[in-house]
Structure 1
Amino acid sequence: MTVVALTRQNVVDFLYKEAKLLDEWKLKEWAALFTDDGTYKVPPIGKPEASPTESLFYVHDNRSRLQERAERLLKKEAHVEYPHSTTLRNYHNILVSGVESDVITVECNFTTHRTKREVLDTFVGKHKYEIVQQNGELAIKSKKVILHLDSLRPHGKISLIL
């Protein structure tokens, strides 16, 4: 296993790469950023520490479900996202811990603007990551999206990857 000395800037650049892939709808490439045992979770609003066995999560995907989600959203049959929304993601207040350890933890605030059918939605919240080095590259071991919203509008569901 190749381990390369990392800096905080390497981690920040990796997050910006993730945001760019999502904004460009390169979802297969985005899913490939995750480790084989990687997870992507969006807990219920107002319950960031909820247990998936006791609460209904908006998303609770392992790596294979994540890949399936990415492939499904790219198909024309995914009517809710075809044609695709236009999105613009911003990550701010990025806090990186453990750059020299096996698992790098990152917390950052995010804003995702989404426009579709002349409606602008804004999602705000916090991302929590566990990032590792895999084959000399950074990879996401876990990503948790904590929404800081009162509710989802207008339709009460999330149809894109946050």
Structure 2
Amino acid sequence: MPDRADHARPRGVAPPKRHRPAEQSLFSGIYGLVLASALVAALDATSATADPGPDALWVLLTALAAGAAHGYAHVIAQRAAADGTAPLSRLRLVLAEWPLVAAVLPTVGMLLAAVAGWWTEATAAEVALLFNTAALFGWGTWAARTAGHGWPSSLRAGGLDMLIGLVIIIADALIE
């Protein structure tokens, strides 16, 4: 029977690297989910003139604009810091906001499903709010685990992120 020494890593050998998403990706993903929830909550999906096609397009365009604006804000901050980075590096800063746009795609997909007649826009909006709230819990938990927190702390962080989605759902119910 082998002893524990057989499983020890030889000196000078680094532990295997686990994939760790960049902090920026986690931030942008959570931000995108909150943005998607706020946008879908603002839709007047229950009116007789509900039109999920243009609404889906506006959600996507708003996410693209927010991602570009956030990335460009990083570029401006670099300039203010007199960082002499190359234009390609600045472009990477803007493109690094892709998780924000990716996070709204499920919401856009749900609205497009309403265009296809699979459900009403009101149902799509409700399902998107619930999905985004659950996803906020997942992303918040994942972000905390990535930062090295234990499970109890990570679940609390996920719960706090989920609370943002619940606040949006409650506000949507009270306002409509």
Do these two structures clear the TM 0.5 threshold for a shared fold by scoring above it? Answer: no
Q: Which has more radius of gyration?
A: 2
TM value normalised by structure 2: 0.22
**Counting strand residues as a fraction of each chain, which structure ranks higher?**
1
| Greater share of helix | 2
Question: Normalized against structure 1, the TM-score is what?
Answer: 0.24
